Amino acid sequence: MTIQQTTENLTVQCKVTDYATWRAGYDGHESARVSAGITNGRVFRNAADVNDVVILLDVADVAKARTFLGTDELKAEMLKSGVIGTPNFRFAA
């Protein structure tokens, strides 16, 4: 029996200045992620540094997700919510 995976996974790691501020921005941007086919976000924080965040997400269309990740809108939202530097984005099947 062959099981076909219908989604890819996206892992995002970033540092933020303040988790609560970042989380409000992340939650407020949900509809934009869904429009890009990025869903089911699960957020984790480093126990030793609560401002070190890892997000695991499902991706329906990698090309569409990559386009979204490169938009000026997302970059502005990340800056506004306190993301420090450039997040690490990794796709995996």
Architecture of domain 8-92: 2-Layer Sandwich (3.30)
CB 93 within 8 Å of CB 3: no
Provide the CA 34 distance to its chain's centre, in angstroms. Answer: 11
Specify the pLDDT at position 93: 84
Q: At which residue do the structure tokens 């690490």 appear?
A: 88
To the nearest 10 degrees (0 to 180), the angle between helices 72-81 and 19-28 is 150
Average pLDDT, the chain: 94
**Would the pLDDT of 7 be above 90?**
no
DSSP state of 17: S
pLDDT band at 3; cut points 50, 70, 90: low
Which amino acid is present at 34? V
**Would the pLDDT of 48 be above 60?**
yes
Q: At which residue do the structure tokens 């992340």 appear?
A: 26
